[in-house]
């Protein structure tokens, strides 16, 4: 049977996409050093865990989806996923392998559990997906891992609630664990932490709230599912609502969850960055 070995979260700021290829030299750069310093323990955990598949829960920022058709939940079912020009010149990453059989198993299971998702046999993946993959698999060494993109709408309100996203994660967890093949799966939740890009409140960051979230999500995620989207916007900023992606990741882990590593830094671009590695023991 397939087994979820753990969960990873990381911020996915586009500027990181530009910085990642120069990580070695930037380790001496005062702006980037505290950010990149957080990642070696996450990579070490991944090297040990050796997942076959990464389910990546992220948000599209206007590469694959536009307002003409905006699904709340979309699941990739392609053999391969491509990145493309997002308009501001971050380098294009090599394509990502898919796992169509597992994708359709997850889709069947989610719809059975009343999550009526949009299915995508073609899907461009943007920085919300690619930046975390490049961070966790340095040098874009993700060729050995197959991926399943799960996209949640954070562009256009109403967004799905934190509780709904947590339940989606639980349903994804059930789907994976009922898959008959012996696979090791890691679940990624990307984005966050507190940040706001638009309006006169741009630049808003809430360290206290972020640190509380980083702590509670490990063993008391239910507390965080009680927030409404509007409360998340108030506490974490307009784009800090991306925290719902972290909650979806956490929902998928149903075993004994322990924190392996975390890191927090203010700021890259306008964003408080957060990184979390959770082990999920049977």
Partner 1 sequence: MTTTHATEVELQIPGTYMFDGRAAMKGYALNKMCFSFNTAENRREFKQDEDAYCTKFGLNDEQRKAIKERNVLAMVHAGGCIYYLAKFAGIFGLSVQDVGAQQTGMTLEEFRKRLKAQGE
Q: How far is the CB of 89 from partner 1 (least distance, A)?
A: 7
Q: Is there binding between residue 212 and partner 1 (CB under 8 A)?
A: no
Please give the backbone phi and psi of residue 171, each rounded to the nearest 5 degrees, phi first.
-70, -35
Size of the site for partner 1 (CB under 8 A): 40
Q: Is there binding between residue 29 and partner 1 (CB under 8 A)?
A: no
| Binds partner 1 by CB under 8 A, chosen from 155, 163, 212, 218 | 155
CA separation for the pair 134, 155 (Å, rounded) = 23
Assigned token pair, 22: 């120069």
Cα separation values, 185 from 3, 31, 50, 92, 165, Å: 6, 33, 9, 25, 19
Catalytic residue among 12, 61, 105, 195: 195
Q: Is there binding between residue 112 and partner 1 (CB under 8 A)?
A: no
Q: Is there binding between residue 15 and partner 1 (CB under 8 A)?
A: yes
Q: Is there binding between residue 84 and partner 1 (CB under 8 A)?
A: yes
Supply the DSSP symbol for 186: E
CA separation for the pair 51, 182 (Å, rounded) = 11
CA separation for the pair 109, 127 (Å, rounded) = 28
* Nearest to partner 1 of 43, 234 (CB atom): 234
Q: Is there binding between residue 50 and partner 1 (CB under 8 A)?
A: no
Q: Is there binding between residue 87 and partner 1 (CB under 8 A)?
A: yes
Note if 195 is an active site residue: yes
Q: Is there binding between residue 92 and partner 1 (CB under 8 A)?
A: no
Supply the DSSP symbol for 74: E
197: left (phi over 0), alpha (psi -120 to 50) or beta: alpha
Q: Which of residues 173-202 bind partner 1 (CB under 8 A)?
A: 196-202
Burial class (CB in 10 A: 0-12, 13-18, 19+), 255: middle
57's enclosing H/E stretch is strand 53-58
Note if 127 is an active site residue: yes
Q: How far is the CB of 99 from partner 1 (least distance, A)?
A: 27
Q: Output the furthest CA–CA distance in the chain (Å, rounded).
A: 52
Q: Is there binding between residue 30 and partner 1 (CB under 8 A)?
A: no
Binding mask 238-257 for partner 1 (x = CB under 8 A): xx------------------
Q: Which residues have a catalytic role annotated?
A: 127, 195
Residues lying near partner 1 in the complex (CB under 8 A): 15, 61-63, 66-68, 84-89, 155-158, 196-203, 205-207, 228, 230, 233-234, 238-239, 265-267, 269-270, 272
């Amino acid at each position: 049977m397939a087994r979820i070995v753990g969960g990873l979260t990381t911020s996915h700021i586009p500027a990181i996409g530009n910085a990642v290829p120069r990580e070695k030299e930037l380790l001496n750069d005062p702006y980037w050093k505290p950010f990149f310093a957080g990642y070696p323990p996450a990579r070490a955990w991944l090297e040990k865990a050796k997942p076959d598949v990464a389910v990546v829960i992220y948000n599209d920022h206007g590469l694959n989806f536009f307002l003409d058709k905006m699904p709340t939940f979309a699941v990739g079912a392609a053999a391969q996923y491509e990145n493309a020009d997002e308009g501001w010149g971050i380098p294009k990453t090599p394509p990502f392998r898919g796992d169509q059989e597992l994708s359709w198993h997850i889709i069947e299971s989610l719809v059975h559990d009343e999550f009526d998702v949009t299915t995508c046999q073609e899907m461009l993946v943007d920085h919300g997906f690619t930046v975390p993959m490049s961070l966790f698999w340095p040098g874009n060494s993700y060729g050995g891992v197959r991926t399943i993109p799960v996209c949640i709408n954070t562009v256009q309100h109403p967004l799905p609630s934190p509780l709904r996203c947590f339940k989606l994660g639980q349903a994804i967890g059930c789907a994976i664990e009922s898959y008959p093949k012996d696979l090791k799966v890691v679940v990624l939740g990307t984005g966050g932490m507190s940040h706001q890009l638009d309006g006169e409140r741009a630049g808003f960051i809430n360290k206290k709230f972020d640190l509380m979230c980083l702590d509670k999500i490990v063993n008391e995620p239910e507390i965080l599912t009680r927030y409404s989207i509007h409360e998340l916007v108030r506490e974490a900023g307009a784009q800090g609502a991306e925290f719902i992606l972290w909650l979806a990741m956490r929902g998928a882990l149903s075993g004994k969850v322990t924190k392996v590593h975390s890191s927090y830094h203010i700021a890259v671009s306008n964003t408080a960055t957060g990184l979390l590695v959770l082990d999920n023991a049977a």
